[in-house]
Chain A
Amino acid sequence: MKPKHQRLAITLTALVALIGAALLAASALREEASYFYTPTTLAETKPPAGKAVRLGGMVQAGSVKRAADGLSVAFTVRDQKAEQKVVYKGITPDLFREGSGVVADGALRADGVFAAETLLAKHDENYVPRELKDIDMKAAEHSKDTLAE
């Protein structure tokens, strides 16, 4: 074995071992990703009023009510089982829409309403122009399904 080949073997073995170890470690950590309460777990655990909590779920269609001051907004976050009323004062993210997902940092008030301090909205991987949204959403949904396979 020439020294050059020996060096190649050592380097490649080290690279594969390193990447393998890191990927194993990283994928072992991936279960830690669930980092918020859903309306169901919030209703079950009932954290005390004022305790900082992160709530995640879907914005119920038809529930978003904007106040006359143009800043305050009230809506309902739901999952399959439970609902949670949320109030927020501030500029909502572009991707905050009825029927789409939202993550809110805040705390429960004494009256059981969740007062959000920050609102985080998520984007999906589809980019569709506004004027095409009705026609293309089916195509986008389709391509999403094929991507998931």
Chain B
Amino acid sequence: MHRFANPARFLSIAKPLTPVLFWPGLLLALGACWWGLTQVPAERLQGDTVKILFVHVPAAWLGMAGWSGIAIASIVQLVWRHPLAGVSARAIAVPGAAFAAICLITGSIWGRPAWGTWWVWDGRLTSMLVLFFLYLGYIALTNASSEKGSVSRTAAVFGIIGAVNIPIINRSVVWWESQHQKASITLSGSSIDASYLWPLLVAAVGFSMLFGAIVLMRMRTALAEIRIEARMRRMAEE
């Protein structure tokens, strides 16, 4: 673990890894969307509306995975004081917020024809909206510190506290069963027919790779900014 905490070593790995994640990820995500939109049969009750599944579900997973990543990075930052932990948490926040927003928007578009409403204050919808607001709060908090490189400890504490919402999102459909259906994919299996499940899994892998590539890009940008700042300070002192 310590080997990768060294920013120079991290950069030497991250630089070649970024395109390796980005281009195949883009290809898989677009390919899965094409597959899902054109090749998949209509669903027994919803017809073609079901096809929004291939964007909505990966976005929901990544929105939640993003905050889980922020929480883990925050713990590493507070406990081990790794220089990269805070940088990675900050890098996750923006794509995490974007995927949470995509999940909410596609869910709303799906809800209108399928359920009969754009929005309802159901447990799952509300807790997902809370996750989106937590992301916005986290981004505001990390941008509030004037120095680019310094990763505030307040943000790390906020990242850990916000993680409380993740198991709540997961359990929301069981505790407050009102509008959103229960989980289709659980540890014991899937109740999604194979013709939908495969493009969904491919889309999830593709979007995850894109997510990883964006996080690496943002981390490299942040590290470059830290170096610029350090060099400027040195020049000013000379």
List A residues at the B interface (Cβ < 8 Å): 4, 7-8, 11-12, 14-15, 18-19, 22-23, 26-27, 29-30, 32-33, 35, 92-97, 103, 118-133, 136, 140, 143-144, 146-147, 149
Interchain CB contact (< 8 A) of A127 among B168, B177, B193: B193
**How many residue pairs, one in A and one in B, have C-beta atoms under 8 Å apart?**
132
**How many residues does chain B have at the interface if contact means C-beta atoms less than 8 Å apart?**
49
Supposing A94-B113, A121-B115, A129-B44 touch, asked if A33 and B163 sit within 8 A by C-beta, the answer is no
Q: Are the CB atoms of B116 and A23 closer together than 8 Å?
A: no
- Give chain B's interface secondary structure class: mixed
Q: Are the CB atoms of B175 and A19 closer together than 8 Å?
A: no
- Give chain A's interface secondary structure class: helix
| Minimum Cβ distance to chain A for residue B203 (Å) | 14
Q: Are the CB atoms of B80 and A4 closer together than 8 Å?
A: yes
Contacts of B214 in A (CB 8 A): none
B75, B78, B164, B192 interface centre (most CB from chain A within 10 Å): B164
A118–B120 Cα gap in the complex (Å)?
A: 12
Contacts of A95 in B (CB 8 A): 45-46, 114-115
Q: Are the CB atoms of B178 and A35 closer together than 8 Å?
A: yes
List B residues at the A interface (Cβ < 8 Å): 40-47, 49-50, 53, 71, 75, 78-80, 113-117, 120, 123, 160-161, 163-165, 167-168, 171, 175-179, 181-184, 186, 188-193, 195-196
Q: Are the CB atoms of A147 and B176 closer together than 8 Å?
A: no
Q: Are the CB atoms of A129 and B41 closer together than 8 Å?
A: yes
Of all chain A residues, the one with the shortest Cβ separation from B121 is A35
Q: Are the CB atoms of B191 and A120 closer together than 8 Å?
A: no
Contacts of B75 in A (CB 8 A): 11-12, 15
Contacts of B167 in A (CB 8 A): 19, 23
Q: Are the CB atoms of B116 and A127 closer together than 8 Å?
A: no
Supposing A125-B191, A147-B188 touch, asked if A94 and B120 sit within 8 A by C-beta, the answer is no
